[in-house]
Amino acid sequence: MKQYFVKSIENQWFKGSWDEVVTQSYEHSRNGNEPFVIQCDTLQRINAPWHLSQQQVLDSEQIQPTAKRGRPKLGVRSKEVTLLPKHWEWLSIQQGGASGAIRKLIDQAMLVSPESDLMLIKQQKLDQFLYQCVGDQPGFEQCSRAIYQLKYDEFVDAIESWEPTLKSFILQKFAELES
């Protein structure tokens, strides 16, 4: 079951299932205070339709976006890529077309990516999450530096004054960087 992390209007944080998060946050959203909801595994912000009824918001976790170009059942999304004419020419003669060739190139690059690339991606996700949540809090800059330097003690010192539930959550995420 997916877990979510939400910041309430009182700057209190709590973690729970979608149903728990919506039930706890819905009344505050009626006053024009949209809750800040993060999906715990991905650290992605969730933009729920808080203007709808509580039941519709509860049901929105299962709502899939309208099918668009590509193969939505496979998770394929259409986005734009900007390339030079010589790149487009090369891609046009590749077996499987431009999209197939680009996917193969990316798959090959992912196989040879050093661990440091994967670590940097994790660090950037955590840093971006913290910037969205507490970018204006005392200690944020020190916290951000400690993430990239993997300095646990400095990280703990930087977040000392932060809300306990948030601290617990981000300490867990920092520990995942080291594993």
Amino acid at 64: Q
Global confidence as pTM: 0.66
Q: What is the mean pLDDT of each run of 10 residues along the chain (179 residues)?
A: 81 86 83 83 86 87 53 72 91 89 88 81 93 90 95 95 91 88
Q: What is the pLDDT of residue 72?
A: 63
CB 165 within 8 A of CB 15: yes
- Closest residue by Cα to residue 49 from 69, 62, 40, 41: 62
From the centroid of its chain, how far is CA 74? 20
